Amino acid sequence: MTNSKVDGRPRLSGDVYYPSENVIAQANIRDYEEQVRRAQDDLEGFWGERADELEWYRKWDKVLDDSDKPFYKWFVGARTNIVHNALDRHVKTWRKNKLALIWEGENGDLRSFSYHALNREVCRFANVLRSLGVSKGDRVTIYMGRIPEIWIAMLACAKIGAVHSVVYGGFSVDALQGRIEDSQSRVLITADGGWMNGKIVELKRTVDEALKRCPSVEHVVVVQRTGHGVSMEPERDHWYHNLMNLPIANGKSETEVMDAEDPLYILYTSGTTGRPKAVVHTHGGYMVGIYTTLRWVFDLKEEDRWWCAADPGWVTGHSYIVYGPLLNGATSFMYEGAPTYPYPNRWWQMIEKYGITILYTAPTAIRGLMRFGEAWPNRHDLSSLRLLGTVGEPINPEAWKWYYRVIGKERCPIMDTWWQTETGTFMITPLPVVPLKPGSGALPFPGVEADVVDEAGNPVAPNEEGYLILKRPWPAMLRTIYRDPDRYVQQYWSKYPGYYLTGDSAKRDEDGYFWIIGRVDDVIKVSGYRLGTAEIESALVSHPAVAEAAAIGLPHEVKGTAIHAFTILRAGFTGSPELVEELRDHVSKHMGPIAKPEAVTFVDKLPKTRSGKIMRRVLKARALGLPEGDVSTLEE
Ligand code: WTA
């Protein structure tokens, strides 16, 4: 990268990093502007060509059907299965001998899988699931840490046409229970525990608690990871390794033929109000979207070693740990534990050890590791890296520059990818050939039309803040909210009919670069994890001392945003530092450690609208000492 103008390119305003000749020369996609024009003029032709790079049992009759907006359909009439392109297709070629997954446990355990080996495990587990009565369309909940079996479980579900619902292993009883219940899963796949920060995460124990209130679950499959002794309920609970050793696991395992629009998975995420809702993604369009975006944005090559350091329990893991790399026939690395265990050089050590070429992580991780100083990464040879990425929240320019200089040694462009659980794929992102501005996600991916508008839906002037919207459909878009199509229409498509509402505010500068500011709804991004105020508040009021609660996000140096809770106590309870601790622990126990509030403040009143809705915006402004804005709807 250079900081000067590259011939033939217009000079951009602000702090700009232009791609080096070397980066341009090796990029998969060099004609970015032309691809943008191509997609703009012929969206269906553009995506049809991308889809043609993959295999289909039957090709589509039409690329996009928009006759029933906003229920868009992609690759109508086509038949496929994402597993056919992720595994079956590769094991017919030399790639069967290529590594699909290299894994390192926090405790030093090592495992790796060739495409052949991964496919064998997936086939065997698919047979196991079938023998448990799972079939096409059934939902299966997966609740695990970062171990290879989470790949196997997800892929086995997809292979037999079951719909997986992965619940992040850092969530706790209430969060897990609500998600199992809503999905009506009959089968749950988990592990006895996982290693994190040198301690065991009690996965199975949490499952046992949650299942007391989930009568739908008939079978629990338990992977032995920690071997620390967990209780197994006769009939209901089965050890994974026992099932995999049954004769039924062996032999052929057919990949189910799916309609392109058949659901691949549901994934719960928090939205504007109420309980988390499940976003639905499909086999066809989602597959084409993640295959293409990963290849184009991260310039994936046959010889790369790709490391997406997210968790498979979130969309980043679904799209870019499991499915995206496999669709591209790539080699992925996955690490189970904490970045700082046992020392803050763990990540850098593994990059050196495995020769990682592309690292994709979150700003919070970068800020967290930055705190330990440069000496830790500098001790290691990071010269294998050629590209870096970030996702999950806006990256502050200071962290961007540290990442660029200390980790990428000023050679590796940083792909700041903006997207959401709902979008399935990167939406606003640079490509390696696009000049970068630290803190900006740059430009829309070809075929994506993004805009920043005011309350009335009019585009705002450059550098003015407004609502970020998307104006055209894209193949990996969510199709609906599971069991709640009205909410799909209401939440995403009703504020500006015909346009998708992202829930983010943003600015667009004079060069058309997008700058994401943050959520404008009741979503809080803690360390890049997406949490809803409603779930945190309901965890708080489940404590006997709490009558009412409001949760807001306030800036935090490492986490980006941290949760601050305001509570009204029930009569007979008085606030004390002990009660603060008790309430923080209570939320952590019910929701998961990531939801633990930074602070709990006891108040007599909460600002509310006349209709009784808590005005979190006002609470936030007060906490930050900012103007309270329009308070005309405030109760008093
Ligand atoms: C935020 C994660 C700024 C944004 C893939 C979005 C970002 C929400 C970025 C979705 C980025 C994600 N820059 N903000 N590069 N990427 N966000 O569903 O607020 O967990 O709406 O998906 O994360 O979070 P989700």
Question: What does the pLDDT read at residue 343?
Answer: 97
Q: Is the CB of 482 under 6 A from ligand 1?
A: no
Q: Is the CB of 473 under 6 A from ligand 1?
A: no
Question: What does the pLDDT read at residue 32?
Answer: 96
Nearest atom of ligand 1 to the alpha carbon of 269 = 18
Ligand 1 center to 512 CA (angstroms): 19
User: How many Å from the N-terminal Cα to the C-terminal Cα in the chain?
Assistant: 56
Residue nearest to atom 13 of ligand 1 (CA): 394
Question: What does the pLDDT read at residue 4?
Answer: 46
Token pair in block for residue 609: 């609208």
State mean pLDDT over 372-392.
98
* Sign of the CA dihedral running 398, 20, 362, 554: positive
Task: Tell me the pLDDT tens digit for each residue of 96-140.
Answer: 999 999 999 999 999 999 999 999 999 999 999 999 999 999 999
Q: Is the CB of 318 under 6 A from ligand 1?
A: no
Task: Tell me the pLDDT tens digit for each residue of 317-356.
Answer: 999 999 999 999 999 999 999 999 999 999 999 999 999 9
Nearest atom of ligand 1 to the alpha carbon of 518 = 19
Q: Is 442 helix (H, G, I), strand (E, B) or coil?
A: strand
Task: Tell me the pLDDT tens digit for each residue of 170-229.
Answer: 999 999 999 999 999 999 999 999 999 999 999 999 999 999 999 899 999 999 999 999
Q: Is the CB of 315 under 6 A from ligand 1?
A: yes
Residue nearest to atom 7 of ligand 1 (CA): 393
Token pair in block for residue 440: 């900006």
Task: Tell me the pLDDT tens digit for each residue of 498-522.
Answer: 999 999 999 999 999 999 999 998 8
Residue nearest to atom 25 of ligand 1 (CA): 420
With a pLDDT cut of 70, the percent of the chain lying above it is 98
Hey, which of 267, 270, 314, 418 would you mutate to test ligand 1's pocket, going by the most ligand atoms within 8 Å of its Cβ? 418
Q: Is the CB of 168 under 6 A from ligand 1?
A: no
Question: Closest Cα to residue 177, out of 217, 234, 146, 133?
Answer: 217
CA distance linking residue 636 with residue 348, whole number of Å: 55
CA distance linking residue 192 with residue 172, whole number of Å: 14
Question: What does the pLDDT read at residue 19?
Answer: 96
Q: Is the CB of 392 under 6 A from ligand 1?
A: yes
What is the crossing angle of helices 203-211 and 173-183, to 10°?
60
Q: In what order do the strands lie in the sheet with 599-602?
A: 546-556, 560-569, 599-602
CB 207 within 8 A of CB 220: yes
Across the chain, mean pLDDT equals 96
SS (H, E, C) 503-562: EEEEEECCCCCEEEEEECCCEEEECCEEEEHHHHHHHHHCCCCEEEEEEEEEEECCCEEE
Ligand 1 center to 100 CA (angstroms): 27
With a pLDDT cut of 90, the percent of the chain lying above it is 93
CA dist 161 to 126, 138, 265, 279, Å?
10, 8, 10, 17
Residue nearest to atom 22 of ligand 1 (CA): 420
Please state the pTM of the whole predicted model.
Answer: 0.96
Is the per-residue pLDDT at 1 higher than 50? no
Is the per-residue pLDDT at 275 higher than 90? no
What is the crossing angle of helices 577-591 and 173-183, to 10°?
30
